[in-house]
Amino acid sequence: MTAVLPEGLRLRRAHPQDLDDVMWLEHASFPTDAWSASQMSGELHSPHGHYVVIETTSEGTAPTVVGYAGLSSLPGNPVADVQTIAVAADQRGKGLGRVLFTELLDEARRRGVHEVFLEVRADNPVAQAMYSAFGFEQIAVRPRYYQPDGVDAWVMRAELPALPTTTGVGPIGQEALDDRG
């Protein structure tokens, strides 16, 4: 599934210096159950994680993070977990979630992962539909998983086919993912 970013936005690898921007978006997106800064910092520093951000690229203004997503997988493990994904409210409906999710799945394939798991709120049909469109199926429910709201989590799973050997990198190109600045 191909995902394309609208003009004026770029996808790049996240780095620890993105913590404040990511946390602002985390709290705006998940006001009742946001991760703590310490949890997110641990994710951004983890050697097992792959976090990406989408930021604005308007000339004359500082870049603004408008989306982020993260994947976790241990070396040599054929299983990965989507940790989180969020898009700023004013940017939703533009396909940014698909761009982020595509990059996570491509990274999972690059790591040799064959199976990906995630949790999604039972009251989030938009995210559920996107994950289903990528071939994810609901396999379980975790009652009252999201606190303090007491909302159930759907556990979803998909098997990943290998990346074609001719592409080798995700939709944004390895050079953009290697950008640390």
**pLDDT (tens digit, 9 = 90+) per residue, 97-148?**
999 999 999 999 999 999 999 999 999 999 999 999 999 999 999 999 999 9
Residue 12 · residue 55 · CB < 8 Å: yes
Q: Range with the lowest mean pLDDT among 4-13, 19-28, 139-148?
A: 4-13
- Say if strands 115-121 and 79-87 run parallel, antiparallel, or are unpaired: parallel
Residue 71 · residue 48 · CB < 8 Å: no
Mean pLDDT of the chain: 89
pLDDT of residue 81: 98
Cis-peptide, bond into residue 148, ω within 30° of zero: yes
Nearest-CA neighbor of 12 among 51, 47, 49? Answer: 51
pLDDT of residue 147: 94
| % of residues, the chain, pLDDT over 70 | 88
Nearest-CA neighbor of 84 among 114, 104, 64? Answer: 104
pLDDT class for 63, splitting at 50, 70, 90? confident
Provide mean pLDDT across the span 1-9.
Answer: 77
